[in-house]
Amino acid sequence: MQKSKFLNIILAATVLVMAILLSTKDDSSDKPTTTPAVKSENAQLTTSDSTMVPFKKISLGVKTEVYPKPAFVIGSYDKEGKPNIMTAAWAGICNSDPLSIAVSMRPATYSYGNLTETKSFTVNIPSAELAKYVDYAGRLSGKDVDKFKETGLTPVKGEFVNAPYVKEFPIVIECEVTAFHDLGSHRQFIGKVIDVKADEAILNADGRVNVNLLNPLIYGGGNYYETGRFLAKVGESLDEIDGKPFVPDYSQKYANDALEVIHSRKSVRHFTDQPVSKQQIETILRAGMAAPTAVNRQPWAFYVVTERETLDALGEQLPYAKMLHQAQAAIVVCGDMEKAGNLKDKGYWVQDCSAATENILLAVESIGLGAVWTASYPYDDRTKVVIKELNLPGKHVPLNVIPIGYPTGEDVPKDKWKPGNIIWR
Ligand SMILES: Cc1cc2nc3c(=O)[nH]c(=O)nc-3n(C[C@H](O)[C@H](O)[C@H](O)COP(=O)(O)O)c2cc1C
């Protein structure tokens, strides 16, 4: 008995020593030691190349990591008819017919009582510019403050339901509570949509909301964001998934906004009828004038054309600028031969004005507009048309005409990355 107990102890000790030796051997191998503390859920699916970290999943436990989250502002009246707003991220469309929106609220919120009482609410969809109001409505309670009064936002009595909407918000949705579910921490109110109203300024010609113009606010993990760029139309994957990129290759993440803008710039040839403001044009030209020039001569003049008649006349006569008929404005970048200096330096005006043009195109992209470089110089016929239509003085030579407007979303960037174009020495 004594002997077998001794043998068992020896056996257990041997197993333990071997286990330690084996684990030490693994550690000292040249495999990267990136194994997460929590076992990968699909460890057996990872390839032998353990550098493919992106496919390695790490369990985070039970967390609210759902992206993007909305940040809706819910309007309601209290028993006395005082309007209130509260921010809700636990919300979204939950049924198509009847169209319904679910919003979950903690019993501690003032709005919870209001919705339970009035069986009505409005969903106010914010643009990114309204982030501060969204944040405010989500930090303070209607029990303690009059949020409309404090923010200066305007409550408007719902047309169809007993709840106020916020005048300043671009989309407002009136809902009638049809059901609620007590889920635990929150009560989920189901609201049947009775009416949706949207600001005219964010609508396309077909009456649908233009997401770029709306610029909806996104809530994600303690921060607010605005929406990214247009990627592709729904359904395009069916045509193009086979080997071809669905959209330009975004696998590369850009380190800063400047690179994002450079890579998302595209030649935009389709515009909506949304006007472009003087302030936007000035922002664009400020970027143009920031370009480098030979011996800092800045040998340029920028003509801004917004008259429909002139845009159309140019569009009629310039063979590759037909989109001027749709564009809301055009910038004509001209070389100024008086500023261009002596003969030797004069040769640089094309480079200088080209650098300004690229800055202009990038600035256009960065503020959500679209543009395309249509050449004038060195084509005699085209430069003559521009000189005639704009009545240019002899010293101004038009390098190009850049139609500008709000993009319809049809034009997308091209992936022009070709490693073969680089000669490494
Ligand atoms: C971005 C954000 C999202 C929020 N989402 C919710 C939510 O979905 N449900 C909820 O009960 N509270 C949510 N809150 C907290 C409420 O908005 C907050 O408690 C508010 O003060 C309630 O207002 P009230 O008491 O006037 O109704 C959120 C707050 C923020 C800032």
362-412 per-position pLDDT tens digit: 999 999 999 999 999 999 999 999 999 999 999 999 999 999 999 998 999
The protein residue whose alpha carbon is closest to atom 10 in ligand 1 is 105
What number is the average pLDDT over the span 61-78? 96
Task: Dig out the tokens for 251 from the structure.
Answer: 């696998």
Quickly state the pLDDT bin for 274 (edges 50, 70, 90).
very high
**pLDDT for residue 41 is more than 60:** no
> Kindly report the CA angle at 361 between 240 and 246, in degrees rounded to 5?
10
Quickly state the pLDDT bin for 75 (edges 50, 70, 90).
very high
Q: Is the beta carbon of 115 within 6 A of some atom in ligand 1?
A: no
**pLDDT for residue 297 is more than 70:** yes
CA-based nearest residue to 219, from 86, 133, 141, 128: 128
Q: What is the reported pLDDT for 365? A: 95
Q: Is the beta carbon of 90 within 6 A of some atom in ligand 1?
A: yes
Q: Is the beta carbon of 104 within 6 A of some atom in ligand 1?
A: yes
Please state, rounded to an integer, the average pLDDT across all residues of the chain. 86
**pLDDT for residue 296 is more than 90:** yes
Q: What is the reported pLDDT for 304? A: 98
CA 104, CA 74: separation in Å to the nearest integer? 11
Q: What is the reported pLDDT for 343? A: 65
409 Cβ contact partners less than 8 Å away, ≥ 6 residues apart: 212, 230
Q: What is the reported pLDDT for 102? A: 98
Ligand 1 centroid distance, CA of 124 (Å): 14
Q: Which of 108-112, 243-247, 278-282 ranks highest by mean pLDDT?
A: 108-112
In 99-170, DSSP assigns E strands to: 99-105, 120-125, 155-157, 164-166
334 Cβ contact partners less than 8 Å away, ≥ 6 residues apart: 300, 301, 302, 303, 353, 392, 396, 397, 398, 399
Q: Atom of ligand 1 at shortest distance to CA of 76?
A: 27
CA-based nearest residue to 230, from 210, 201, 207, 202: 210
Quickly state the pLDDT bin for 170 (edges 50, 70, 90).
very high
Q: Which of 82-86, 91-95, 137-141, 418-422 has the lowest mean pLDDT?
A: 418-422
Is 11 or 166 the better-scoring residue by pLDDT? 166
Peptide bond into 68 cis (omega under 30): yes
Q: What is the reported pLDDT for 330? A: 98
Q: What is the reported pLDDT for 59? A: 95
Q: pLDDT digits over 213-253, tens only? A: 899 999 997 899 987 767 777 777 666 555 655 555 555 55
Q: What is the reported pLDDT for 49? A: 43
Quickly state the pLDDT bin for 134 (edges 50, 70, 90).
very high
Contact (Cβ atoms closer than 8 angstroms) between residue 144 and residue 214: no
Q: Is the beta carbon of 109 within 6 A of some atom in ligand 1?
A: yes
Q: Is the beta carbon of 138 within 6 A of some atom in ligand 1?
A: yes
Is 39 or 275 the better-scoring residue by pLDDT? 275
Using DSSP, state whether 63 is helix, strand or coil: coil
Q: pLDDT digits over 341-356, tens only? A: 876 667 799 999 999 9
Q: Is the beta carbon of 73 within 6 A of some atom in ligand 1?
A: no
CA 26, CA 129: separation in Å to the nearest integer? 54
Q: What is the reported pLDDT for 308? A: 97
Q: What is the reported pLDDT for 235? A: 74
* Best probe residue, ligand 1, of 86, 148, 189 (max atoms within 8 Å of C-beta): 86
**pLDDT for residue 423 is more than 60:** yes
Using DSSP, state whether 4 is helix, strand or coil: helix
Using DSSP, state whether 34 is helix, strand or coil: coil
What number is the average pLDDT over the span 338-342? 88
All structural domains of the chain: 26-63 (no CATH), 72-220 (2.30.110.10), 262-405 (3.40.109.10)
Running DSSP on this structure, what letter comes out for residue 39?
P
Transcribe 368-408 into DSSP letters: T-EE--EEBTB-HHHHHHHHHHHT--TTEEEEEEEEEE-B-
Q: What percent of the chain has pLDDT over 70?
A: 81
pTM value > 0.75 = no
What number is the average pLDDT over the span 45-68? 72
Q: What is the reported pLDDT for 210? A: 87
**pLDDT for residue 9 is more than 70:** no
Q: What is the reported pLDDT for 338? A: 93
